[in-house]
Amino acid sequence: MNSNKYYWIYILMVKNGNYYTGYTVDLVRRYREHITGRGACKYTKSFRPVKLTQCWRVFEDKGTAMKIESYIKGIGRAQKHFLVSNPYKLKDMILKDLKIDPDIYTFDPSIVEKSVREIEERTPGSGM
């Protein structure tokens, strides 16, 4: 584990009621891109985020973060909803299904949303 480097895995609820899953090194920046439509994600340009529903910090390499993101993208809506309600279960699910034991921690998504709101309040003409 490299304690100085981590990746974020996150799940958004978007306007059409679906979940969107992604990974990034800077969740506040990436969430702002999704909200404003300024990022490269075509899906969230069409269906803007309503809420950051869950997020985790993964203290592993990029490949592991990408595997976890891909895993979440591949599970059904009911399992995603379960993860949103029980975020601490992600580690168990990954261990069982992917046979990896990542250094992963649940993070309160409301803290990220608050940071984004504070940035937008300080940024004139931010478009939010």
Per-residue pLDDT tens, the chain, 128 aa: give them. Answer: 445 689 999 999 999 999 999 999 999 999 999 998 888 889 999 999 999 999 999 999 999 999 999 999 999 999 999 999 999 999 999 999 999 999 999 999 999 999 988 888 887 665 55
Domain boundaries, the chain: 7-122
CATH code, 7-122: 3.40.1440
Q: What is the pTM of this model?
A: 0.90
Check residue 1 and give its pLDDT: 46
Please, what's the b/e burial string for 47-63 (b: 16 or more CB within 10 A of its CB; e: otherwise)? bebeebbbbbbbbbeee
Q: Position 52: which residue type?
A: L
Three-class SS state of 61: coil
Residue 93 tokens read as 């699910």
Check residue 49 and give its pLDDT: 94
Residue 77 tokens read as 């809506």
Check residue 24 and give its pLDDT: 97
